[in-house]
Structure 1
Amino acid sequence: MLQGPAMQFPYMPSPKKLVFGYDPDEFEEFVKEWVPALQSEYVRVERQGGSGDHGIDVAAYRSAQGLEGPWDNYQCKRYKSALNWSTAAGEIRKMFVGVVLGHFVLPTQYVFVAPAFARNLRTALAKPAQTRTKFLEELAETSDEVVTRLTADQQQEVTQLAKQTDFSMFVPVDMDLMLEQHKTTPHWATRFPDEQRERPAVMLPPDDHNPEEAQYVQQLIRVYAERWKADADTLELIAQHPTAGAHMRRQREAFYSAESLKRFARDAYPDGHFNAVMDDVHAHAVEVADKRFELGWDRLQAVLEAAGVVALTETVLTRYVRPLDRKGVCHHLANDGRLKWCEEGGAA
């Protein structure tokens, strides 16, 4: 198959560069979109960042009990420089204080989310037991108001809680991995410019008709029987007919071309993109189909011709739609009962 040169599109910053440019609020929203891609068992994900958040930016709940049951905390840090140990330790102190004051139970996992991590923080998070010791030493000497404003008993509770906590619960997340996982969410297509993808080869129709083809093929049989009567009223006779046989082969090729587009859209983009193409074609084709035609053959040919010039709504899928897909979409619409070629009571 001959292919032309790759399509050219204006330069757009990479998703990573776009994320690096987010302000703190937008970064938290991005994290909220990403978190559901990690755990299918999360029953709810909430963004709580802001004043009085007690150290919670995005909370992911594993049960209906919310902050009173198992949950994960995603701490978002969008700074000009890499997130370091000093800043992270302050957030950890805030989290322990929140537990002691009864704002929430200790999270199952505490995830630091940042565009970049300083080496001292990566090293600390890779050695949880050693880091807990370091944290406790710093806690005893801290002047952080989140701790010093507590009563002596509460400060002791914070220390005891830290001693009992497995610091392997504190983990960093890699930005490249975040982006790959975010790509699986419905938000990717609306947040980032779409990258040029390679559409798989078009499917070829199998020799034997599949059951999922039944309805549009039956409509074609009616078209041929109406035009050529008994000379083309079964699949066997159609295959031998000089015109109907070749026409049927072309229509099946179109159907499978559109089926290839449908599967490509399903795998590459959020739900609804192929259906948007179907709806665009249908909105125009149904008006053509409603006109008066002597034969179903005439109606079919008019609709196929009209489908070739339909202006499709601009979506990330539109650039991949080929002329043969448009004809195939007409047969998908016929397969779904949304288009009919022959008048009721015509030849069967």
Structure 2
Amino acid sequence: MSDQTLTPQNGLAEPSLVLKGPGMQFPYMPSPKKLVFGYDPDEFEEFVKEWVPALQSAYVRVERQGGTGDHGIDVAAYRSTQGLEGPWDNYQCKRYKSALNWTTAAGEIRKMFAGVVLGHFVLPTQYVFVAPAFARNLREALAKPVQTRAKFLEGLAETRDEVITRLTDDQRQEVAQLAEQTDFAMFVPIDMDRMLAQHKTTPQWVTRFPDEQRERPAIMLPPDEHGSGEARYVQQLVRVYAERWKADADTLELIAQHPKAGDHMRRQREAFYSAESLRRFARDAYPDGHFNAVMDDVHTIAVEVGDKRFELGWDRLQAVLEAAGVVALTETVLVRYVRPLDRKGVCHHLANEGRLEWCEEGGTA
């Protein structure tokens, strides 16, 4: 058995398609970083909410809470079903025209400690400052957690921030004690380039940013031995050959020796693996559903052609393959990569899933 054995895709995934807009030409398209820099605070928080799940697969839920009364939480990532009462991470989003500095960050940290003391949530495991740019004084502060804690405590004792001054004396003392006991290494910045690279792994990337031209990997070549993952469509082809050429081509061994059936089988396997290459490319490059959309487009026409009356399964197969070559595909970001050989291969993927049949039961096509 070849190590290139395939696993056919059974059932239909719910497509999360990225449709292409009108075929317009633009002289210049801003980079993703420049687009993010132009977001308003609300859109920036939504972008962060999309990015956070790419960081930690252990998050059970990611929730945007920014707005009035958020107690210093913009995006909360929960590590357990206990939510804010269990382990969680806070992603504090700051979208300003200027770089985020220490003074602003210190105010957010004070708000966070006050929220813990007031019982709004437990201390987060990690507190991540998310901003398009960071001032040097903040980067330096976050790189020296011990010194920064001392600096924060000094400022806390003198602050006129209402978040602190409206607390009772006991509550202010609790805030100071909590800050003194906290490892300030929990406060970290995130680099925008790294953030964009991680966001690129999410399904939302292609819905948010212009799609870039990607290099499709080389087409897979069929292995010498048939894989178990291609058994169903190969069995259907064997029936087609046996129906047309009878006992001269009713086994794989005889088909391989047949002057026409052998070459035909080789071409169909090449097409199947071409489509499999497209499926894997789509799986790795785009959100779920794009290859299935191509399958559905081809099936929509192929099933109608296949329902016509044919003398032989061979005739039905040829008619369906011809129709697949001219099917109008939904204009998704994947369409530009679909080759004629892929279209033929999709027909065999559909046969592999039992969605198309070439020979009718009873021998009458």
* Structure 2 equivalent of residue 156 of structure 1: 173
Please name the residue that 1:302 is paired with.
319
- Please state if 1:173 is matched with 2:190: yes
1:1-348 correspondence to structure 2 within 5 Å: 10=26, 11-346=28-363
- The amino acid across from 1:60 in the alignment is A
Query: In structure 2, what is the Cα distance between the partners aligned to 1:224 and 1:62?
Result: 57
Q: Is the 8 A contact 1:225 1:232 kept in 2?
A: yes
Deviation of 1:9 after TM superposition, in Å, equals: 6.7
Residue in structure 1 matched with residue 14 of structure 2 by the alignment: none
One-letter amino acid matched to 1:283:
T
User: Which of 311-320 and 120-129 deviates more?
Assistant: 311-320
How far apart, CA to CA, are the structure 2 residues paired with 1:324 and 1:341?
19
Q: Work out whether residues 82 and 117 of structure 1, in 8 Å CA contact, stay in contact via their aligned partners in 2.
A: yes
For the Cα contact (< 8 Å) 2:199–2:205, is it kept in 1?
Answer: yes
Q: TM-score, normalised by structure 2?
A: 0.91
What is the root-mean-square deviation of aligned Cα atoms in Å?
Answer: 1.5
Q: Contact 2:71 / 2:111 at 8 angstroms: preserved in 1?
A: yes
TM-score of the superposed pair, with normalisation by structure 1:
0.95
Q: Is the 8 A contact 1:221 1:234 kept in 2?
A: yes
Q: Distance in 1 between matches of 2:25 and 2:236?
A: 41
SS in 2 for 1:199: coil
Tell me by how many angstroms 1:12 deviates. 2.5
Cα deviation for residue 86 of structure 1 reads 0.7
Deviation by residue 1:208-260 (Cα, 9 ceiling, x = unmatched)? 11111111111111111111111111112211222111111110100010011
Query: 1:222, 1:347 within 8 Å by CA — same for their partners in 2?
Result: no
* Contiguous gaps of at least 5 residues in structure 1: 1-7
SS of the counterpart of 2:122?
coil
Is the 8 Å Cα contact of residues 68 and 104 (structure 1) preserved in structure 2? yes
Which structure has more RCO (C-alpha within 8 Å, separation ≥ 6)? 2
Conservation of the 8 A alpha-carbon contact between 1:226 and 1:347: no
In structure 1, C-alpha distance between the alignment counterparts of 2:79 and 2:114, rounded to whole Å: 22
What SS class does the counterpart of residue 314 from structure 1 fall into? Answer: coil
Once the two structures are superposed, residues 315-337 of structure 1 have per-residue CA deviations (whole angstroms, 9 ceiling, x without a partner) of: 12111110000000000000110
Retained in 1: the 8 A contact 2:312–2:364?
no
Q: C-alpha separation between the residues in 2 aligned to 1:98 and 1:171?
A: 19
AA of the residue aligned to 1:287: E
Instruction: Describe the SS at the equivalent of 1:111.
Output: strand
- 8 Å Cα contact 1:225/1:347 also seen in 2: no
Would the alpha carbon gap of residues 247 and 307 (structure 1) be closer, same or farther in structure 2, given more than 3 Å must change? same
Cα offset, 1:347, TM superposition: 8.3
Task: Specify the SS of the correspondent of 1:157.
Answer: helix
Q: Which amino acid aligns with 2:339?
A: R
CA distance in 1, matches of 2:127, 2:312: 68
Structure 1 CA distance, aligned partners of 2:222 and 2:364? 26
